[in-house]
Amino acid sequence: MSFSKTRTRITRTLAAVASVAALTFILLPAQAAAGLNIVATTSSLGALAREIGGDEAEVRVLAPPDRDAHYLDARPSFMAALRRADLLLEMGAGLEEGWLPAAQRGARNRAINSGQPGHFRAADKVELRRSITKDGPNMGHVHEEGNPHFNADPLRMAEIGLALGERMGELRPDHAEAFMERAEAAAERLREHAEKLAERVEPDQRIVVYHEDLDYLEEWLPVEIVGYLEPAPGIPPTARHLRSLVGDLEGTDGAVLYAVFQPERGAEFLERHLGWPTHAVRLDPPDEKALEGYLELMTTWAEALSQR
Amino acid sequence: MPNHTNLFRPALGGLTALALAVPASATAQQWETRAGDRNWGLDISLILEGIYYNELSHGISEPAGFDDGHDHGHGDGHDHGGFDDGFNLGHNELAFEANLGDLFDGFLMLGFDEDHLDVEEAYLTTRALPGGFQVKAGKFLSDIGYINSRHGHDWDFVDRPLVNEYLFGDHGLQETGVQATWLAPTATYTKLGVELLQGDNSFIPYQGSGGSHTTNAGDEIGSSFSDVSGPRLVTAFAKFGPDLGPDHAAQFGISGGYARTWQEETEHGSGLEEWDGDAWFAGLDAVYKYSSGRAYGHGDWRLQGEYFYREIDVDYQRREDQTTIAGNAQGSGKARQDGLYIQGVYGFAPRWEAGLRSEALGLTNRGLPTNEGSERNFAEPSFGTSYRHSAQITFRPVEPVFLRAQLSQNDFVDEDGDRDRGLEFMLQLNVALGAHGAHRF
């Protein structure tokens, strides 16, 4: 079997494929230049992008807002959306590692490759809290970079908004000024709203959460996380762990917060044995809304705590 | 084939692709590294698997009509399908993934068990071609069908579906070559692809010229095959995935392939049998996933099915010595065979899944032409259909670990048309260590 012959053949075929590729690229109608086509992994990022982009951006959110963004499939529809995107927004720090790399590769769109201006990784723009996943034994769910659930912190979201406004301006210089103005306004509203909500909450609140996905509430509300329903990140509550939580917290006051997609049984156990109120909260705002949706979500988090 | 040859060829393919992609990328925007992007290093993952196998009752070992072609090139006994009674080190994998800027992703997967180490996949994927194109070069699992390109730890059952194993081999259609795909800029996911593959280790056996066989009588019979240079197999596929909202997702595929050469031989003490011709196949695949939105896969559904048909068109002869045909054992004919499976998996509790799979092999089952009786008369045999039904329960205590129990009832038919049932039990422990790559749909 002749090796060089095979190679020539492959080279020739590749050359043919390349010419077709080049031709198609030239002939494809140029994308509507005005609107920035943004794909965001979560609806928190989507809300920021909508607010900053206004009429100059089309925003599509991949993760359903009431689902755990850790565990999704790299769906064909995600790749179809990313194929046409000018800008991909991700939280990063491992939140989407189970599915986004596969979707990005499958999208065949260089503009959104890691390292390109069309790829925006929010975790790069803010300092992250240390993740508790680094404390326990390595059970395959370790966030080395830090806790990726910073969407629960409006102050960090404000910083991310500013960085995002700048990036969107780099991609569409014509609108750079408008993007930056809206980003600044959004940051201002986030900080004001956070301050206002924090003032209404009774000081020194204590909460138990399910996963480390609400830890960032500590950054802007007068609240302290005193326990997790999960014995280790990614492992559902065990009876033994819940009993030990009850033992530790007996006789104290607090509340239990968990995400709408998390099982309620652990929270109910604490409610029965400690008398603590439980609240199923959303982690991300409903899709299709701009900043307003995120501000309302902040309110639901704050109002799950005792009010002055 | 020694492993270094396997590594050499992908490297050549990769270089060709590199030569091609670099000028293309020069016209695209210049690439830059942004601080903080961590997706540049080498990711290593190790997948370890142990299987306990118990044959509760023995039926018929192999479904009729699929002797030839199946297991070709694996004379080393490296057989994923056949387990020993008792404990087995299953199919273990060591995978390396790295990238060259945002130009290429490189992937190497070594598969091993107690005795063997195989390069299962070694390829480069372009990440920077314009217009939705992507080229993959090296040794890889073909993207035909659905399960063919997936490794064992992504399967919902312990073993490979019969249709994939018996039409494409113990590793599926795994070949060295080049794949080009294009993703349409449409809201409905539409992917088209072609593959040029060497074609010598799975679905198409290849012998080439120069072989010879010495009979018990001492006659040397020279091979009648001629050399056919690669690539000898071309495949094409299309996949569609409509956007069905947050709860539902589906993908439908159609694929086919043509092998311009199909050469197989069987040596006997009394002579040499040869089949020489070409072959084609075509199939349909579909997968549907329902996501309940609850934690740990509780309430989720996955349904998946595939059908493949293949035809092998060959000239057949059985010789006693260089020139003498045994009896009337000569002629042309077609083998026509197909198979399908359908399976469903349901998350009946958090971290627990149960699944059912039904399979049929040889709904059409015309075997390769051969000879019959002491007269050695040319014959085109026809066989019955074999079935297999499997049930599994899977528990995932933590994300990277699963424990699966599977019961399979095979209802195979043998070459005489006799049918018998066998029952197998399998217990599989699979652990993924290190970086585990993102899951494909």
In the prediction, which pLDDT does A234 show?
Answer: 81
User: A87-103 as b/e, with b when 16 or more CB fall inside 10 Å?
Assistant: bbbbbbbbbbbbbbbbb
For B440, the closest chain A residue by CA position comes to A74
In the prediction, which pLDDT does A140 show?
Answer: 65
C-alpha–C-alpha distance, residues B308 and B147, integer Å: 12
C-alpha–C-alpha distance, residues A11 and A77, integer Å: 33
For chain A, the farthest-separated pair of C-alpha atoms sits apart, in whole angstroms, at: 84
pLDDT of A8 strictly over 80:
no
In the prediction, which pLDDT does B6 show?
Answer: 44
Q: Does A16 touch chain B (CB under 8 A)?
A: no
**How buried is B210 (Cβ within 10 angstroms: 0-12 exposed, 13-18 middle, 19+ buried)?**
exposed
**Residues B6 and B139: beta-carbon distance below 8 Å:** yes
Q: What are the DSSP calls for B36-79, one per residue?
A: T--TTS-EEEEEEEEEEEEEEE---SS-TT-TTTTTTT-TT---
Cα-only R_g, chain A: 23
Query: Is the C-alpha dihedral spanning B316, B320, B321, B323 positive or negative?
Result: negative
Q: Does B349 touch chain A (CB under 8 A)?
A: no
Q: Does A180 touch chain B (CB under 8 A)?
A: no
- B127, B291, B294: residue with CB nearest A105: B127
In the prediction, which pLDDT does B113 show?
Answer: 85
The three-class DSSP label of residue A280 is: strand
The single-letter DSSP state of residue B285 is E
Residues of B in contact with A28 (CB under 8 A): 131, 185
Paired tokens of B287: 């997968």
The three-class DSSP label of residue A84 is: coil
The verdict on a CB contact (< 8 Å) between B239 and A262 is no
Q: What is the ipTM of this complex?
A: 0.86
Greatest mean pLDDT range, A69-83, A138-152, B6-20: A69-83
The verdict on a CB contact (< 8 Å) between B189 and A76 is yes
- Distant-in-sequence, close-in-space partners of A30: CB < 8 Å, separation ≥ 6: none
pLDDT of B211 strictly over 60:
yes
How do residues A42-59 score in pLDDT, each as one tens digit?
A: 999 999 999 999 999 999
**Residues B46 and B434: beta-carbon distance below 8 Å:** yes
In the prediction, which pLDDT does A233 show?
Answer: 84
Q: Does B288 touch chain A (CB under 8 A)?
A: no
| CA distances in angstroms from B185 to A85, A239, A252, B130, B313, listed in the order given | 10, 50, 58, 12, 39
User: A35-53 as b/e, with b when 16 or more CB fall inside 10 Å?
Assistant: bbbbbbbbbbbbbbbbbbb
Greatest mean pLDDT range, A10-19, A187-196, A231-240, B83-92: A187-196
Residue B274: pLDDT band (50, 70, 90) is very high
pLDDT of A306 strictly over 90:
yes
Q: Does B441 touch chain A (CB under 8 A)?
A: yes
**What does pLDDT average to over chain A?**
90
For B196, the closest chain A residue by CA position comes to A10
For A85, the closest chain B residue by CA position comes to B185
Q: Does A277 touch chain B (CB under 8 A)?
A: no
Q: Does B30 touch chain A (CB under 8 A)?
A: no
Task: State the pTM of this model.
Answer: 0.88
pLDDT of B372 strictly over 70:
yes
Best CATH choice for the domain B46-434 from the list 2.40.160.10, 3.40.190.80, 1.10.3720.10, 3.30.360.10: 2.40.160.10
pLDDT of B337 strictly over 80:
yes
Q: Does A19 touch chain B (CB under 8 A)?
A: no
**Residues B123 and B139: beta-carbon distance below 8 Å:** yes
pLDDT of B287 strictly over 70:
yes
pLDDT of A3 strictly over 60:
no
pLDDT of B77 strictly over 50:
no
- A14, A97, A103: residue with CB nearest B178: A14
- Name residue A237's beta-bridge partners: none
In the prediction, which pLDDT does A15 show?
Answer: 59
The verdict on a CB contact (< 8 Å) between B401 and A140 is yes
Q: Does A243 touch chain B (CB under 8 A)?
A: no
Residue A142: pLDDT band (50, 70, 90) is confident
- B231, B398, B438: residue with CB nearest A74: B438
Q: What is the four-CA torsion angle of A50, A54, A60, A63, rounded to 10 degrees?
A: 0
The dihedrals phi and psi of B22, each to the nearest 5 degrees, come to: -65, -45
> Please, what are the domains in chain A?
36-195 (3.40.50.1980), 201-303 (3.40.50.1980)
Segment B170-199 shows an average pLDDT of 96
The verdict on a CB contact (< 8 Å) between A110 and B128 is yes
The verdict on a CB contact (< 8 Å) between B130 and A18 is no
Higher pLDDT, B435 or B289: B289
Q: Does A8 touch chain B (CB under 8 A)?
A: no
- A108, A145, A236: residue with CB nearest B133: A108
C-alpha–C-alpha distance, residues B297 and B292, integer Å: 8
Residues of B in contact with A5 (CB under 8 A): 229
Q: Does B260 touch chain A (CB under 8 A)?
A: no
Residues of B in contact with A77 (CB under 8 A): 187, 189, 241-244, 249
Name which of A12, A116, A170, A210 to mutate to probe chain B: the one with the most chain B Cβ atoms within 10 A of its Cβ. A116
Residues of A in contact with B226 (CB under 8 A): none
pLDDT of A248 strictly over 70:
yes
The verdict on a CB contact (< 8 Å) between B16 and A119 is no
The verdict on a CB contact (< 8 Å) between B289 and A73 is yes
pLDDT of A32 strictly over 70:
no
How do residues B224-259 score in pLDDT, each as one tens digit?
A: 999 999 899 999 999 999 999 999 999 999 999 999
What percent of chain B has pLDDT above 70? 87
Residues of B in contact with A124 (CB under 8 A): 34-37
Q: Does B98 touch chain A (CB under 8 A)?
A: no
Which strand ranges, in their side-by-side order, compose the sheet holding A119-121?
A: A57-61, A36-40, A87-90, A119-121
Q: Chain A, 135-154: which have a CB under 8 Å from a chain B CB?
A: 139-141, 145
What percent of chain A has pLDDT above 90? 81
**What does pLDDT average to over chain B?**
88
Name which of B20, B399, B402, B436 to mutate to probe chain A: the one with the most chain A Cβ atoms within 10 A of its Cβ. B399
Q: What are the DSSP calls for B125-184, one per residue?
A: EES--GGGEEEEEEEEE--SSSGGGS-GGG-SSSS--HHHHHHH-TT-SEEEEEEEEEE-
In the prediction, which pLDDT does B440 show?
Answer: 82
For A66, the closest chain B residue by CA position comes to B293
In the prediction, which pLDDT does B31 show?
Answer: 38
Residues of A in contact with B289 (CB under 8 A): 73
For B252, the closest chain A residue by CA position comes to A76
The single-letter DSSP state of residue A85 is -
How do residues B18-74 score in pLDDT, each as one tens digit?
A: 444 443 443 333 334 444 444 457 889 999 999 999 999 999 999 999 875 433 333
Q: Does B29 touch chain A (CB under 8 A)?
A: yes
Q: Does B151 touch chain A (CB under 8 A)?
A: no
| CA distances in angstroms from B380 to A292, B113, B312, B418, listed in the order given | 73, 39, 12, 19
**Residues B275 and B316: beta-carbon distance below 8 Å:** yes
Which residue is it, tokens 């060259």? B100
The verdict on a CB contact (< 8 Å) between A140 and B432 is yes
pLDDT of B159 strictly over 80:
yes
Q: Count CB neighbours of B136 within 10 A.
A: 23
Segment A100-129 shows an average pLDDT of 96
The dihedrals phi and psi of B316, each to the nearest 5 degrees, come to: -120, 140
Q: Which of A19, A219, A105, A193 is nearest to B134 (CA)?
A: A105
How do residues A278-294 score in pLDDT, each as one tens digit?
A: 999 999 999 988 999 99
Q: Chain B, 102-141: which have a CB under 8 Å from a chain A CB?
A: 102, 105, 125, 127-135, 137
Residue B15: pLDDT band (50, 70, 90) is very low
- A14, A107, A140: residue with CB nearest B20: A14
For B244, the closest chain A residue by CA position comes to A77
Residues of A in contact with B102 (CB under 8 A): 110, 113-116
Residue B16: pLDDT band (50, 70, 90) is very low
